[in-house]
Amino acid sequence: MCGIVGIVGHTPVAPLIVDALKRLEYRGYDSAGVATIENGNLARRRAEGKLINLEKRLKSEPLDGTIGIGHTRWATHGVPNETNAHPHFSNGVAIVHNGIIENFAELREELKKDGYTFDSQTDTEVVAHLVARELARGARPVDAAFRALKRLEGAFALAIMFKGDEDLIVGARNGPPLAVGHGEGEMFLGSDAIALAPFTNSITYLEDGDWAVIRRNLIQIFDMAGEPVERKRQQSVGTSFLVDKGNHRHFMEKEIHEQPEVISHTLAHYLDFVGGQAKSFDMPFDFAKIDRLAISACGTAYLAGLVSKYWFERYARLPVDIDIASEFRYREMPLGKDSAALFVSQSGETADTLASLRYCRKAGIPIGAIVNVRESTIARESDGIFPTLAGPEIGVASTKAFTCQLSVLASLAVKAASARGKISADEEKALVRQLSEAPRYASQVLKLDKQIEKVARELSQVRHVLYLGRDTNYPLALEGALKLKEISYIHAEGYAAGELKHGPIALIDETMPVIVIAPHDRIFDKTVSNMQEVAARGGRIILITDQKGAQHATVKTMETIVLPDVPEMIAPLIYALPIQMLAYFTAVFMGTDVDQPRNLAKSVTVE
Ligand code: F6R
């Protein structure tokens, strides 16, 4: 993960680099650092922890210099301390790196034999030494960088700067994204266009295997054979404004509250509410002509995909294989000519999802992607994209991106059902009408905050929580558990309610809260039986249901959170909110860092 920046500018660059790093902090926040060339020499400031620590450091010890590179880290090799923070130096070479150098152990041994010593535990330091060794062997900076790059295996986005050349940064990409920004007499390099938005909107994305020579008045891009290559220059839509929290305590709270609006925008993009049908939009494949849809994604995005399996199969009679991308990429799934693939990713950069996409590309099947970042690598490598209109999601725990992914998937399920002739025009109209009501119901749920906060206070006292649900509420149970553990650090598990008796029931005692997500749907009574099993063993039930469910649940609960009665299809969009709010308030009670929970990063560009 990690975010990298480079600027060949004409004013002191350290403050600009910090500004760009703020936009990249979502990629990691274990440590940060900046290096510039000051009075002809490499100089750097690094600090453990959040970017704010680096800012403080730079305030007391400012850095001069009109060329520089910067880094915000998500630790892979080596603990997050100052020594392991980037930039790394070796004999006049400074380097920042995002990714993993897979052959670093073997390179390290080789370099040690040549007398190089290592200050850090990182894989990155080998790159600095490799480049320095080429310089020592007489290569000029650009050639030294190129020769070193050819020795690297693994995933990397790199920026390299050289003492003695204040008009040169070498950038390289193999895996993680890297964008070059074009200015007037100044040039930029960054992990994404948003980082560069305050400086320029004119962007060239490097492709895998590309490396670039960046000078104030010149950008040259080469491939791994050393041949010059042309890459398109495009206008980025990245905004130069840093998104703020408004009146909210945390970005996560703000993003939870934005959901009625962003769900509405997203649905309106795909559905014609007046005509009562799915709109016609560019499709990478024809739902009527495929017999199987392979969906893969990671984390919360995977769970959105899992909800959609129920929708596609139920309404469109289209079989769906849904996979966690890190499994899909290696499981060698046979893909026939009548298959299509769909990838779901907020960032559009998740390494495992991207690798799965490339597997499908090799298999020659059409590829669609549901992404929030339209300029991302996954978006660019797909045959067609289905954007979520969530706006920038800053909180590391995904909330509004999830419900927007659900909104797109629900719309696609309607489109598929209609294209495959599995629903009549009237049925399509009814489903579209139901979906159009989702934002209104979502607003109503937000008003339950006081009750949910009260339940969260209880949850903040426990160490373990179980979530149960059936049908589309099963993925929501998984999502509830994921959300709770990632921001409150309370251990939580999600289960299909019917699975309870096959093992997890052994965990139930009077200390175990069990959150049951159960609208009054076709299988409500089955879930009530599971609740009886929990109650009989002293488990404390928190039931999230609707008015009908609350009337019919013949079980004593610790608390019942009553949502409006909503149609079955849109229930996942609505029930997502109370589970997000429950996790949010619990984390606030626990006093954790809600927006930037420990060990996590917003964009996961390593395996
Ligand atoms: C959890 C969360 C993660 C992401 C996952 C995929 O709250 O945010 O599980 O959903 O890392 O990320 P994207 O959607 O960017 O591919």
Angle at alpha carbon of residue 480, lines to 474 and 486, rounded to 5°: 135
Query: Which token pair is 475?
Result: 């993925």
SS3 41: strand
Same-domain check for residues 473 and 347: no
346 in contact with ligand 1, CB cutoff 6 A: yes
Same-domain check for residues 330 and 181: no
Q: How far is the CA of 347 from the centre of ligand 1 (A)?
A: 8
Task: Specify the pLDDT at position 243.
Answer: 66
Query: Which of 240, 271, 306 is the last residue in one of the domains?
Result: 240
- Asked whether residue 77 carries a pLDDT value surpassing 90, the answer given is no
Same-domain check for residues 200 and 319: no
> What's the average model confidence in pLDDT over 317-343?
95
Burial of 338 (0-12, 13-18, 19+ CB in 10 A): exposed
Residue 601 lies in a domain: no
Mark whether 2 is an active-site residue: yes
User: What whole-number distance in Å separates Cα of residue 11 and Cα of residue 13?
Assistant: 6
Q: Which atom of ligand 1 is nearest to the CA of 402?
A: 10
User: What whole-number distance in Å separates Cα of residue 80 and Cα of residue 21?
Assistant: 17
Q: How far is the CA of 600 from the centre of ligand 1 (A)?
A: 10
Same-domain check for residues 75 and 91: yes
Query: Which token pair is 358?
Result: 């490339």
Same-domain check for residues 201 and 225: yes
Query: Which of 418, 436, 454 is the last residue in one of the domains?
Result: 436
SS3 content of the chain, % helix, strand, coil (to 5): 40, 25, 35
Residue 369 lies in a domain: yes
399 in contact with ligand 1, CB cutoff 6 A: no
352 in contact with ligand 1, CB cutoff 6 A: no
User: What whole-number distance in Å separates Cα of residue 415 and Cα of residue 421?
Assistant: 10
Give the CATH number of the domain where residue 98 resides.
3.60.20.10
SS3 299: helix
Q: Which atom of ligand 1 is nearest to the CA of 401?
A: 14
pLDDT single digits (tens) 288-316: 999 999 999 999 999 999 999 999 999 99
Same-domain check for residues 286 and 391: yes
> What's the average model confidence in pLDDT over 403-429?
98
Residue 329 lies in a domain: yes
Position 29 confidence tier, pLDDT thresholds 50, 70, 90: confident
Q: How far is the CA of 379 from the centre of ligand 1 (A)?
A: 16
The percent of residues in the chain predicted with pLDDT above 70, rounded, is 99
pLDDT single digits (tens) 442-479: 999 999 999 999 999 999 999 999 999 999 999 999 99
Residue 599 lies in a domain: no
301 in contact with ligand 1, CB cutoff 6 A: yes
> What's the average model confidence in pLDDT over 24-53?
93
pLDDT single digits (tens) 182-209: 999 999 999 988 889 899 999 999 998 9
- Asked whether residue 120 carries a pLDDT value surpassing 60, the answer given is yes
Task: Specify the pLDDT at position 242.
Answer: 61
Which residue range forms the structural domain that includes residue 553?
446-592
- Asked whether residue 219 carries a pLDDT value surpassing 70, the answer given is yes
604 in contact with ligand 1, CB cutoff 6 A: yes
H or E stretch covering 149: helix 141-149
486 in contact with ligand 1, CB cutoff 6 A: yes
Position 75 confidence tier, pLDDT thresholds 50, 70, 90: confident
Residue 158 lies in a domain: yes
Same-domain check for residues 354 and 329: yes
Task: Specify the pLDDT at position 76.
Answer: 82
Cβ atoms of residues 70 and 44 within 8 Å = no
566 or 239: which leads in pLDDT: 566
Same-domain check for residues 334 and 398: yes
Query: Which token pair is 232?
Result: 């398109």
Same-domain check for residues 429 and 456: no
The percent of residues in the chain predicted with pLDDT above 90, rounded, is 87
Of 290, 162, 157, 182, residue with least CA distance to 232: 182
Residue 603 lies in a domain: no
Same-domain check for residues 297 and 392: yes
- Asked whether residue 1 carries a pLDDT value surpassing 80, the answer given is no
CB atoms within 10 A of CB 175: 22
Same-domain check for residues 405 and 260: yes
Q: How far is the CA of 416 from the centre of ligand 1 (A)?
A: 26
Residue 604 lies in a domain: no
pTM exceeds 0.75, yes or no: yes
H or E stretch covering 419: helix 400-419
299 in contact with ligand 1, CB cutoff 6 A: yes
Number of structural domains found in the chain: 3
pLDDT single digits (tens) 505-544: 999 999 999 999 999 999 999 999 999 999 999 999 999 9
User: What whole-number distance in Å separates Cα of residue 57 and Cα of residue 485?
Assistant: 33
Position 576 confidence tier, pLDDT thresholds 50, 70, 90: very high
CB atoms within 10 A of CB 488: 26
H or E stretch covering 296: strand 292-297
Task: Specify the pLDDT at position 239.
Answer: 58
Task: Specify the pLDDT at position 133.
Answer: 98
User: What whole-number distance in Å separates Cα of residue 557 and Cα of residue 188?
Assistant: 58
- Asked whether residue 40 carries a pLDDT value surpassing 60, the answer given is yes
Amino acid identity at 509: D
Amino acid identity at 371: V
Same-domain check for residues 397 and 475: no
Query: Which of 178, 213, 240 is the last residue in one of the domains?
Result: 240
Q: Whose CA is nearest to atom 7 of ligand 1?
A: 397
Place of tokens 């339950």: 448
Peptide bond into 87 cis (omega under 30): yes
pLDDT single digits (tens) 480-514: 999 999 999 999 999 999 999 999 999 999 999 99
What contacts 468, CB < 8 A, 6 or more positions away? Answer: 477, 494, 495, 496, 497, 500, 514, 515, 516, 517, 527, 530, 534
CB atoms within 10 A of CB 567: 17
- Helix/strand/coil (H/E/C) assignment for every residue in 520-569: CCCCHHHHHHHHHHHHHCCCEEEEEEEHHHHHHCCCCCCEEEEECCCCHH
- Which ranges of 153-258 would DSSP assign to H, the alpha helix? 193-196, 251-257
- Asked whether residue 4 carries a pLDDT value surpassing 80, the answer given is yes
Query: Which token pair is 396?
Result: 């590391």
Q: How far is the CA of 607 from the centre of ligand 1 (A)?
A: 13
Pocket test residue of 192, 255, 300, 476 for ligand 1, highest count of atoms within 8 A of CB: 300
CB atoms within 10 A of CB 551: 11
pLDDT single digits (tens) 347-396: 999 999 999 999 999 999 999 999 999 889 999 999 999 999 998 899 99
Residue 607 lies in a domain: no
Task: Specify the pLDDT at position 240.
Answer: 57
Give the CATH number of the domain where residue 282 resides.
3.40.50.10490
Cβ atoms of residues 26 and 42 within 8 Å = no
Q: Whose CA is nearest to atom 16 of ligand 1?
A: 345
229 or 607: which leads in pLDDT: 229
Amino acid identity at 26: Y
